Amino acid sequence: MKNSYLSSTIKQFEYYKSLGDKTINQLSFEELQWQVHVDSNSISILIKHIVGNMLSRWTNFLTEDGEKTWRKRDDEFNDTYTTKEQLVASWESGWHCLFNAITPLKTIDLESIIYIRNQGHTVTEAINRQLAHYSYHIGQIVFLGKLLKGSNWQTLSIAKGESISYNEEKFSKEKERKHFTDDL
């Protein structure tokens, strides 16, 4: 790996995207829109917020402030999706923007300064900030999905009661250098 930070970061983003994908795939459009109460966020609203953030942060990432003047953050908390297909297309557009911005980065770019709301960040800091932000919200999405599906939930990690067999399988192999998502 020429730059393990960049390749690892891309894999981490891909991993969190896959958790969101697998949750979305298990749910109906109505379930994606479910809110525990009027002031809470549905999965649909969380997705709209993540996408709004991604499009703002990653569009012209190295040359423009990450909080774009065209972003209407408050509107992200109003569910306006009318179909699951529209929601998924929006989700994909946000991830496409992110991956188009970070995939071409080089090691030399990592210490460059970019701005989010006029606050300077190194590219590394900005990537870390967004990775933490998205994983936070995707954790909420997974939790809501699991809550909605109950016993019909298809687990996204090691199933309850399967840790011993999972570990036995992992420890039966030779040690090697690889990312934990390589086998997923």
CA 94 to chain centre: 9
What CA–CA distances, in Å, run from 136 to 118, 130, 139, 142? 23, 10, 5, 10
Q: What is the pLDDT of residue 180?
A: 82
CB 146 within 8 A of CB 153: yes
Q: Positive or negative CA dihedral for 154, 155, 159, 160? A: negative
116 strand-pairing partners = 119
AA letter at 157: S
Q: Which two tokens stand for residue 2?
A: 């020429």
Q: What is the pLDDT of residue 78?
A: 94
Q: What is the pLDDT of residue 37?
A: 93
Question: Residue 19's CB: how many other CB atoms inside 10 A?
Answer: 18
Residue whose C-alpha is closest to residue 96's, from 67, 59, 138: 59
Residue whose C-alpha is closest to residue 122's, from 110, 106, 140, 137: 110
Q: Which two tokens stand for residue 71?
A: 């972003």
Query: Residue ranges per domain, the chain?
Result: 4-157
62 Cβ partners below 8 Å, 6+ apart?
Answer: 109, 112, 114, 123
Q: What is the pLDDT of residue 1?
A: 39
Which run of H or E residues covers position 177? Answer: none
Q: What is the pLDDT along the chain (184 residues), one digit of tens a residue?
A: 357 899 999 999 999 999 999 999 999 999 999 999 999 999 999 999 999 999 999 999 999 999 999 999 999 999 999 999 999 999 999 999 999 999 999 999 999 999 999 999 999 999 999 999 999 999 999 999 999 999 999 999 988 899 999 889 888 989 888 888 877 7
Fold classification of 4-157 (topology level): Four Helix Bundle (Hemerythrin (Met), subunit A) (1.20.120)
